[in-house]
Each structure stands twice: as structure tokens, then as C-alpha cells.
Amino acid sequence: MTLTTLKQAENLIYQSYMRAVPNILHEQDDIVKKPELTRSLLDDIGKPDQNGTNILVTGSKGKGSTSKMIASLLGHLGYKVGLFTSPHILHFTERIRVNGKSISEGDFIRLANQVAPSFNEIEKTLPPHHYQGPIGVALSIALLYFNEQKTDVNIIECGRGGKYDDTNVINNELAVITPIMEEHLNHLGPTLEDIIIHKLGIVKEKTKNVVISKQSPYVQEVIKEKLNTNNVHAFYDSTHFHAFNIHITQDGVSFSVETNESNYSNIFLSLLGEFQANNAAAALKTCEVFLNKTLPLKDVKKCFQKLKWPGRCEIIDHSPSVIVDGAIHRESAKYVKKILDESGFKSIVSILAVPEDKDYKGVIKEAASFSKQIIITKPSVSHKTFPKDALAVSAAYLSNSIEIYPLESAVQKAKANPRIDCIVILGTQTFISDVKRIWKQSLADLGI
């Protein structure tokens, strides 16, 4: 069957996984994931990954924004850069970009049709509990597109893991590890050390350099213990680069970055949060390593001043301010709390939609510490299951907590309070997509 719509192309990506779900008996990635199927798919469609240079980015938090920063910096320096990220906010095509512009629906459908025959042949060979990973199928389309566009370098954000991730079948001379936290314990755990080992899996035999973002002391210690530095040169935050003079405002963050090669002073980034300054430092160091030279300060400043990464501590409205972030565990919500404390907001209402397989109790607990009221809601459409006890958990901290559906009604309720100066909206990227629809914001072209 020829695919003719975006929905049909998206369905192809999830088809194998949805078929296998009823038959999957385990959760651990090392048992369930079959990245070799992605390798077979890529080989069968012409090995589109063999013609380009790829940088893999993994971690628990900040891997998407760090990927975007690396892509933007290289774009401002004149490179043609492919960017593959997940999840999307409004449209699946946002996951595949060249110099900030999403792949068109027409190109996406056309390339999905190019992948489909090989995908279908592999499907015929699989037992009921095996599947072709959605990330791997989407990656195949992305790499075909990057190949057609003749990109100079591709920035590839990994899925939840690393070692068994479908993106990890491609060669990468450079790897980036953003902050690692306890997440996806059923899939990557059960311990934080297990998660770290999974993430370090993107440092492979042909990987020459790895840039490691700011980590907790324990994570840093385990990384140094587990990372085989015989074949790879490691660059660590605080040793080879770091952000400093970080100042948070209600419009963004100003900071400077020092690397072992150069100094980049008085940078302004139109994203909120100290961690974004740390992400920017890692992105700068990654570009230094990739280019084997320092970057012009004027280009760095221009890049970060204009950079957009929606749904990540993003201010989308004023009077009252509306801040949107994809916080899905307590550590992420703590970052949001820190940002709000530093930004000087006095009266906050939070709207939350965190699924039950994420740390919804941790997010609620942190949100309660900076909110006058919490409103529990959920996305209009989602394949996730949302906790039935979320309101009860919230009410244990704030007795005036309420549950309102749909999101539009929750927003109207929050705005109706004349005493608030900020509405904070936290949840999955699927939930954030509902927010972007309400504010009628397009994401097709984020700029370089």
C-alpha cells in the first residue's frame, strides 16, 4: 500500500511496536530492544548513514536542547546540519530538521514509502514479541533525508538509553553525555549505575572523543570508573570547560564559558535555567572538539541570542507570564523551582500532566513548594496512562488542588485569578503540544 498521508507515515513508524506490545513479557532494554533490526533496515535501504558524519547525544536531561545548541552553533558557522530529536511538540516532522527547518510533509511521506518495502520484509521474519523500534524507523527516514540534503554533519539525539538504542547502530566519532539521573528504571535500571552504563554505550570502538556535561559527583565518579579511555579522549565539565557568572532573568540566562582552549564572555541565551548555561558550555566544547578550533565569539553570541527550543523552560506569554517545561521527574521540577525562585515570581499556579510511568509524585511535590494552587489535567490525546491518584497526591500538599479537563479549561481557570503573576505548565512533550496549539505557535522553522 502506498502511503499518502502524514498519519499513514506515522503509523508505519509505530506499526511494528504496536503489533508486538501484547506479546512483550519483559521491560529491560537489554532483553527487549533489537537495534540490529535498525541496522538491517538501514543496510537494506542503501546505508544512508555511511555518507555522513554523526554526533550522538544521550543523557537523562538536556539532551534535546544540547543537540539543538550544537546544531545551531555549527549552522551559524556555515555548516549544513541535520538534527534528529524526539519527541515532537506539534508534528512528527519536527523530529527531522536541516538548519532548523522541519522536513516537509511531502518529503516525509515520500521517504516513508521508500523505507516501507524493506520494513515490511523485515516484519515477515519477526516472532510476535520482536519489533522494529519506532526510533529506528524514524531514524531511517531522517538519514535518507540528510543524505539527500547533503548535510555536513548530523546531530542525533538518542532515545531513552544508549547502548541498546536504535540510534546507536550508526558510527559516531564524537559522543555527548548530558546529565544522567534516575529515570526509566524498569527499562534501564534497576540502579543508577546501570543507567550510566547504558548511556555510556554510545561511546563505541570508533568513537574518538566524548564530551561529558555537568554531572552529580556520584555519576561523574562512575563515568570515570566505567569509561574506557584507552581509545577515547574524554572532556569533562569543570575540567575542560564550564559555565560561570550565570545570572537568571525573566527573559533568559546570561553567562560566560571557559574552555581549555578559549573564553566566551557575556553570552545571553533566550532560555531559562542555569542548567541551560551548562548545556551551552557542553555544546560549545563539542563544537570545539568537532572543528578542532575555537569559535568566533560574535557567532556564538548571535547563535545563543536567537536560539529557540520550545517547551523547555520557555516563556510563551506575559501578563501573567506563562512558562512551559517538559518536567517529568523530581530533579527536573527542582530546576524549574530554582528558575522561578531566581526570577522573582510571587504568586504561581501550576498546571500538571505527568503520566504514571514517570515521577509524577516527585513533580507534584516540587510544584507544591512553589505554587499557590495546582491544577491536574492531561493531554487531549496520548498513548500514556495518567495516574488516577494525582489529585489526591497534590491535595496532600495543597488542599485547594483541583482537577480540570480539558487543558483549555485549566488555563482559563488559572488566568481567572487576578492575583497570580505566573502560570507554570509542566508535563510530557505530548502535553506541551496541546499548550502550543492553544497559543497558536508554529514550530516548522526554528531558524538555524
Domain(s) of CATH 3.40.1190.10: residues in the chain: 6-306
Region 336-348: mean pLDDT is: 89
**What's the pLDDT at 23?**
96
360/160 Cα distance (integer angstroms): 18
C-alpha cell at 16: 511494528
Predicted confidence band of residue 294 (pLDDT cuts 50, 70, 90): very high
**What's the pLDDT at 18?**
97
Region 416-433: mean pLDDT is: 92
Bridge partners of residue 82, in order along the sequence: 98, 154
Residues 8-63 have pLDDT tens digits of 999 999 999 999 999 999 999 999 999 999 999 999 999 999 988 999 999 998 99
Global confidence as pTM: 0.86
**What's the pLDDT at 188?**
95
- Write the CATH number of the domain with boundaries 314-438: 3.90.190.20
**What's the pLDDT at 252?**
82
Superfamily per CATH, domain 6-306: Mur-like, catalytic domain (3.40.1190.10)
Query: How many Cβ atoms from other residues are within 10 Å of residue 320's Cβ?
Result: 19
Residues 64-93 have pLDDT tens digits of 999 999 999 999 999 999 999 998 887 899
Predicted confidence band of residue 108 (pLDDT cuts 50, 70, 90): very high
Residues 195-243 have pLDDT tens digits of 999 999 999 999 999 999 999 999 999 999 999 777 899 999 999 999 9
Strands (E), 42-80: 54-58
**What's the pLDDT at 3?**
98
**What's the pLDDT at 397?**
98
Rounded to 5°, angle at Cα 8 from 82 and 167? 35
User: Parallel, antiparallel, or unpaired: how do β-strands 253-259 and 348-353 relate?
Assistant: unpaired
pLDDT at position 274 over 80: yes
- DSSP-derived letter for residue 416 is T
Domain(s) of CATH 3.90.190.20: residues in the chain: 314-438
User: Parallel, antiparallel, or unpaired: how do β-strands 373-376 and 402-403 relate?
Assistant: parallel
When mean pLDDT is compared across 27-31, 209-213, 309-313, 421-425, the lowest value belongs to: 309-313
